[in-house]
Amino acid sequence: MIFGFFLIIVAVYIMTDLNNLRGSRNQDKTSAQKSDSELVKSGKTIAVGASLSFFGGLASGLLGIGGGLLVVPIMTFAMDMSIHPATATSMFTMIFTSISGVTQHYQANHINFETALLLVLGAIFRAQVGAYTSKRISGKNLRRVFGVVVIISGINMIIKYW
């Protein structure tokens, strides 16, 4: 329940322009953000991102939530990444998590292949719609959409454990 309230606070922070008050953290101005090469060359940024992401992954596993709820804010605030590459990176990491989960469920004979095929077809279609939409939405509006999703997740956790 406490984590649900924490998610709501993080979501409000993501959705508002409070992060712009901290100097160069304007998510819509690419000149104020670190470039890919700056992120890779900065050992401190990589260390902070890796360690926070490790604990974010641990917390998401223990709490049974998607890691993106924690990793995207870590990348945007701790690593100064724009929301667009942060969400795309989070989606990319799901490939490896999904492969691991599918392998485990396949070995345990838990897969209904007819249902899985329908889910795969739906995911392929939704991924195209998401990529198309993401290209056309501003960073500010993407932060708002992501914030709404995080608020809904936080409220769901609070209601579930109230």
Contact (Cβ atoms closer than 8 angstroms) between residue 74 and residue 49: yes
Query: Who has greater pLDDT, 107 or 89?
Result: 107
Residue type, 65: I
Q: What is the largest CA-CA distance in the chain?
A: 53
Instruction: Indicate the pTM of the whole model.
Output: 0.71
> Number of structural domains, the chain?
1
pLDDT of 90 strictly over 60:
yes
Task: Kindly report, residue by residue over 96-122, the tens digit of the pLDDT.
Answer: 888 888 999 999 999 999 999 999 999
CA distances from 142 to 15, 44, 135 (A): 9, 27, 10
Block residue for tokens 């160069």: 24
Q: Find the helix or strand (DSSP H, E) in which 7 lies.
A: helix 2-15
Task: Kindly report, residue by residue over 16-67, the tens digit of the pLDDT.
Answer: 865 454 444 444 444 455 566 676 667 777 888 889 888 888 888 888 777 8
Q: What is the pLDDT of residue 124?
A: 92
Q: What is the pLDDT of residue 62?
A: 84
Contact (Cβ atoms closer than 8 angstroms) between residue 153 and residue 65: yes
CA distances from 40 to 89, 112, 121, 122, 131 (A): 14, 41, 35, 34, 24
The whole-number average pLDDT for the span 133-157 is: 90
Percent with pLDDT over 70 in the chain: 85
Q: What's the Rg (C-alpha) of the chain?
A: 17
Q: What is the pLDDT of residue 39?
A: 66
Q: How many CB atoms lie within 10 A of CB 159?
A: 10
Contact (Cβ atoms closer than 8 angstroms) between residue 45 and residue 80: yes
Q: Give 71's pLDDT tier (boundaries 50, 70, 90).
A: confident
The whole-number average pLDDT for the span 118-133 is: 91
Q: What is the pLDDT of residue 15?
A: 86
Contact (Cβ atoms closer than 8 angstroms) between residue 69 and residue 7: yes
The whole-number average pLDDT for the span 128-134 is: 88
pLDDT of 152 strictly over 50:
yes
Q: Is the dihedral of CA 43, 45, 50, 51 positive or negative?
A: positive
Structural domain harbouring 129? 2-161
